[in-house]
Structure 1
């Protein structure tokens, strides 16, 4: 049986999907975070290996009793594989990952083994709209990135990109950005009150964040946010607060769900303002990839599809905020898509590409 594998490696989780030559999904599994920029090579391979092994085990019927690693046990069950990896932003990163992934799967380096940034998985909708030739892929999840593509000789050619720099340098409009903006806005309201002598406006979001960290005053949040990351195997006293156990990035990004709940369910004005701010920041970055004038690498929204992916972009109200900001900047897209399952889309695209005689194109 010919099997096709796609692995979507993100900052929150790893998703591995296996399909057959007809594009039927046979198995899938999830693993832990696998942003390559945040992990050692060994950690990355271990996470990916676990997800692929579990995906093979869920196949119905199972392809065999062969699970990764494969080469010493026989030929690879995979005809082709595609890894869309967050944190893979340079040819050097692809060069680093190719040998261990080739060894893991028993697939030689070459056209049968594709390693790209995870945004490439979101460009698939371009092939679903024959009247356009360009796509803008936008990920808004734990982090954020936007990349433009065009169809060229049957393959997707990357044109330009912005973002994907990680939480220290950017990721505007992603989960960390939302959590950081929430803290900034709440602290700003507090500081304004020290000048005006008036109490800061009431906010359900502020109350929820105070409860989340188990504090009594919002200024107590500063030492929590700046607390160093926990050392490996570090012991803490029993009943220590949960924030002692997670890195500072997660302490901030974990606030994102509270912001969305307060904004979209409670109608909290502060939370709504935070989402508008973050959506506008991401919209401004996307707009840098777009052009009002024609040019060799110009992408015009009216002739393109914008394809969203990621947990935050999966929230329709948040996508609308981003699109509204882009429209105010003069960019209205011909088509708007949300790819809920990039790994499945990638696996099916691999199987479809393999039917082109002598060609396997996955990027």
Structure 2
């Protein structure tokens, strides 16, 4: 019983990583989607079982071609940690716990931790014995921040901000960046009309116009507002971007903003990212401060680690913008981490936590 398992269950894939007692990764595998909110319990169990079985096959050299039967006939795992997207309530955790316990042969309790997938980003806190608080920040297509306190049997969620989806929020994520780019581009055009002068030259504007196949900034209004089309229909337009959903038409502009900002130093693109980083920091700051009887779950940044995950905050320059905006509000974290492989970091953090016990 020397193996430690971490499984990151997401809407597009399942990632399982297995470590030995020294924290060395000895097995890993990718599987199909396992968002708990989108699947039946049986389908969720099957997705997890296939992925964990495939990860176990890689634990031997050479890797086995035969499937590893689950539940195991003898104990395999010292502990397991699941981060499951779509698992947002105690009732859902209670429903899935006996299923995973039986599947892995790990009894419910301190050796089996099951929570929402944002919890996995808190894993770096387990590598720093002098902190017991973590703030996880996801900035990818969407944006969310969650604060945690580490307890002997896992992480307790303290507060969360965001993750509302593109219609209601997603500040700091790709949709927010794309929408802000279009808004500021239109604002510059409006201001220039009053001055009877052309707006400043911008590589970002050129890239956005090219993306939508238009020649005038104001034509972007049509490009953005054309309704979503049924699959396979392009609304009478000839360009493939019009077959995208309205959300993706804007979120897909984020790479253009980053390219224009950090490769071309385009002033408009830099202002867009400074604006979105400031908004994101304002949201994150809701979780931070000195705890009081009225707000007992606030976390002091200088006593916590902030752990980032997601494609946008994976860009160091943008991550620094967010951290600088937080520092300007008086929130400087004791440690900063970026997690690009949540399952691997989670498995190694799990080993570290048991070594400390």
By the TM > 0.5 criterion, same fold? yes
Farther-moved stretch of structure 1 (287-296 vs 6-15): 6-15
* Preserved contact between residue 75 and residue 106 of structure 1 (Cα < 8 Å): no
SS at match of 1:149: strand
Q: Is the 8 A contact 2:235 2:242 kept in 1?
A: no
Alpha-carbon distance change, 42 to 253 in structure 1, aligned in 2, over 3 angstroms: farther
Q: Is the 8 A contact 1:312 1:318 kept in 2?
A: yes
5+ residue gaps, structure 2: none
Task: Name the CA distance, whole Å, in 1 between partners of 2:33 and 2:225.
Answer: 23
Whether the 8 Å contact between 1:149 and 1:158 is mirrored in structure 2 is yes
Shift of 1:182: 1.2
Task: Identify if the C-alpha distance between structure 1 residues 312 and 55 changes in structure 2 by more than 3 Å, giving closer, same or farther.
Answer: farther
Alignment-derived partner of residue 122 in structure 2: 123
Q: 2: distance between equivalents of 1:214 and 1:239?
A: 10
How many residues align? The count is: 352
1:313 corresponds to which residue?
Answer: 313
Give the Å deviation of 1:272: 0.5
| Contact 1:11/1:142 (<8 A) preserved | no
The answer for the alignment partner of 2:15 in structure 1 is 15
Aligned partners of 1:17 and 1:25 also within 8 Å: yes
Q: By how many angstroms is 1:83 displaced?
A: 2.8
The residue aligned with 1:361 is none
> 3-state SS of the aligned residue for 2:287?
coil
Report matched runs for 1:249-288 at 5 Å: 249-288=247-286
Match of 1:66 in 2: 67
Residue equivalent to 2:185: 186
2:287 pairs with 1:289: yes
Residues 51 and 222 of structure 1: CA distance in aligned 2, closer, same or farther (over 3 Å): farther
SS at match of 2:156: strand
CA displacement at 1:57 relative to structure 2: 5.4
Q: What SS does the corresponding residue of 1:317 show, helix, strand or coil?
A: helix
The equivalent residue for 2:223 is 224
| Aligned-CA RMSD value | 3.6
- After TM superposition, give the deviation of residue 204 of structure 1 in Å: 0.4
C-alpha change, 1:249 and 1:264, in structure 2 (3 Å) is: same
- State how far apart, in whole Å, the 2-side matches of 1:91 and 1:169 are: 25
1:233-244 maps to which residues of 2 (within 5 A)? Answer: 234=232, 240-244=238-242
Q: Distance in 2 between matches of 1:249 and 1:89?
A: 24
Structure-1-length-normalised TM-score: 0.81
Provide Cα deviations, 1:107-138, integer angstroms capped at 9, x if missing partner. 57834554322221121222222223322121
Deviation at 1:267, TM superposition (A): 0.1
Q: Residue 12 of structure 1 contacts residue 142 of structure 1 at CA under 8 Å; is this kept in 2?
A: no
Q: List runs of 5+ in structure 1 lacking aligned partners.
A: 358-363
Deviates more, 1:105-114 or 1:194-203: 105-114
**Cα distance in 1 between the residues matched to 2:225 and 2:99:** 36
Change (3 A) 1:175 1:348: same
> Residues 64 and 31 (structure 1 numbering): CA distance in 2 closer, same or farther, change over 3 Å?
closer
Q: Distance in 2 between matches of 1:228 and 1:132?
A: 49
Maintained 8 Å contact 1:283/1:325: yes
Could you tell me how far 1:183 is from its partner in structure 2? 1.6
Q: Could you say which residue in structure 1 is the equivalent of 2:246?
A: 248
Note closer, same or farther for the CA distance 1:293–1:96 as it changes in structure 2 (3 Å cut): closer
Q: Find the counterpart in structure 1 of residue 166 from structure 2.
A: 167
TM-score by length of 2: 0.82
